[in-house]
Amino acid sequence: MNINPAHQVTGDMSALMVIFGGTGDLTNRKLIPALYNLIYDQRLPKHFAIVAVGRKDMDHEQYRKQIFEQLKKYSRNDIDEMLWKNLSCLIYYFKLNFTDSVGYEGLDIFLRELDNTYQIPGNRLFYLAVAPDFFETIVMHLHKSKMAAVTKNSWKRLIIEKPFGKDLKTARLLNGKLREVFREDDIYRIDHYLGKEMIQNILVLRFCNLVFESLWSNQFIDNIQISLAEKHGVGARGGYYEQSGAMRDMVQNHLLQIVSLIAMEAPINLTPDAIKMEKLKVLNSIERFSPELLKNNIVFGQYGKGIIDGHPVPGYQEEVSERSNTETFIAMKFYINNFRWAGTPFYIRTGKRLGVHAAEIVIQFKALPDILYFSNDTEQEPNLLVIKIQPNVGVFFQFNTRDFNTEKEIMSAKMDTSHTSRAQGNTPEAYEKLILDVIKGDSTLFSSWDEVEASWMIADKITEYGRRRKLNLPNYDAGSMGPIQSFELLARDCRKWWNI
């Protein structure tokens, strides 16, 4: 369900989507399958075409054959030959060295020819599916070639994948360059987690259900836990991961975005600006981290060798560098210092090579006094609301009721609406939703610069603290749920991580 049903986006949806990095992994695994599934579901605009820009030497047909093989691997829908034929006719390839200014002039001419062919009034969606080193280079060449110029009858929009900078300083420099060319409203900083069904559904659960929103505060919630666990290791991304680690790869973007959605106040309306304003207030209310505060409230980890699904897997240092001090796991406890959440701890954790591949949000409600039904040593199970993000999608609620089958008076009952996409029918993947939103001009599910800046202010403090510490890594086995210190983090508060 869209979290923004009332926001009506106007404007011409006809467009040319220009994908820089057209032969890369992101395009093969996510973008082309997303576009195929959009045409499969009859949601792609009538006047639309795709130009994949890459440095490899090939023609249109060679490119179409190459991506068709990848599409068969990654599409959520079966391949319909007629639909693929319809889509493939809309896909073109243009060879370009990203640093070659003359080449952009040729690209501009090619795009104008396609405008005439597909009756498109100059609308452009520039998708930078490239290494971050090329972001500024490509944008400045678009500017010099006048391809980014907005006219009275056309729009130009830019989509940028993470990482948006390496720290606050580089993020500000990059943003300054982008703003020389594109307006803030035309820059879409993509976070694919925000396109996931249950992330979109967080605000619906809160603001469409009095039973939840009336309890959504420090008065009734004991703690909130967010876990993003991955079974796989870094694989071929070792070079990138050495520069990012879990902090930049997951916490600075995905996790802090989820925190802001969970903790935000009700917006004055459902426009993108109103929602982003409330999310930003949350980020600015997170307690200021000092080395003294972080000492007892953050755990860094790195996986060693272990067993995943019955198979031995190497440790991070064996995969990347035997001297690496890069974290592949982070667990944190922090507070949001505002009237609604003061005193309620937020616990977050994320890691690679863990025992499960899942993402969940657990809201644990406060316990009742140990009287009446809980006065005779009956164990009181807390009320839990679990938002399941992946691989299962849905909501789980745990509450107490009478046990009619045994002598035991109280039992914990569970209501579970979660489903897998196969059991419930195919559901749109994150990139399908996000691409369609950019075409519509709806930025609700994208990060504003103010949010990115606030997130980097938090991330830089934590990264600097981790850099100064002498960590004994690796400190957890692949296939486990992370370092023992992450469990001790909650145990000190007489709490525990809920199993995911």
Q: Are 367 and 350 in contact (CB under 8 A)?
A: no
Q: What are phi and psi of 106, to 5 degrees?
A: -65, -40
- Selection from 220, 228, 476 nearest residue 366 by Cα: 220
Q: CA torsion 391→396→402→405, rounded to 10°?
A: -20
Give residues with Cβ within 8 angstroms of 286, minimum separation 6: 259, 334, 335, 336, 337, 458
- Give the gyration radius of the chain's Cα atoms: 24
Query: Do 459 and 248 meet the contact criterion of CB atoms below 8 Å apart?
Result: yes
Q: What is the DSSP string of 423-475?
A: HH-----HHHHHHHHHHHT--TTSB-HHHHHHHHHHHHHHHHHHHHS------
Determine which one of 7, 47, 60, 254 is catalytic. 254
Residue 482: Cβ within 10 Å count = 27
The full 3-state SS of 151-209, as one line of letters, equals CCCCCEEEEECCCCCCCHHHHHHHHHHHHHHCCHHHEEECCHHHHCHHHHHHHHHHHCC
Residue 476 CA from chain centroid, whole number: 25
Which residues have a Cβ under 8 Å from the Cβ of 420 and sit 6 or more positions away? 391, 392, 393
Given CA atoms 19, 443, 229, 301 in this order, what sign does their dihedral have?
positive
Nearest one of 16, 22, 4 to 155, comparing CA atoms? 16
Task: State the chain's maximal CA–CA distance in angstroms.
Answer: 82
Nearest to 112 by CA among 51, 62, 162, 188: 51
Name the 3-class secondary structure at 370.
Answer: coil
Cis peptide before 428 (omega within 30 of 0): no
The span from the CA of 87 to the CA of 50, in Å, is: 9
| Short-list 360, 79, 72, 59, CA closest to 202 | 360
Judged by phi (left if over 0) then psi (alpha if -120 to 50, else beta), residue 21 lies in left
- Our answer to whether residue 311 is catalytic in this structure is no
Q: How far is CA 74 from CA 31, 70, 77, 254, in A?
A: 10, 6, 9, 23
β-bridge mates for residue 347, sequence order: 225, 333
Rounded distance between C-alpha atoms, residue 308 and residue 478, angstroms: 7
Alpha-carbon distance of 150 to 157, in angstroms, equals: 9
Could you tell me how many residues make up the chain?
500
Could you list the active site residues?
254
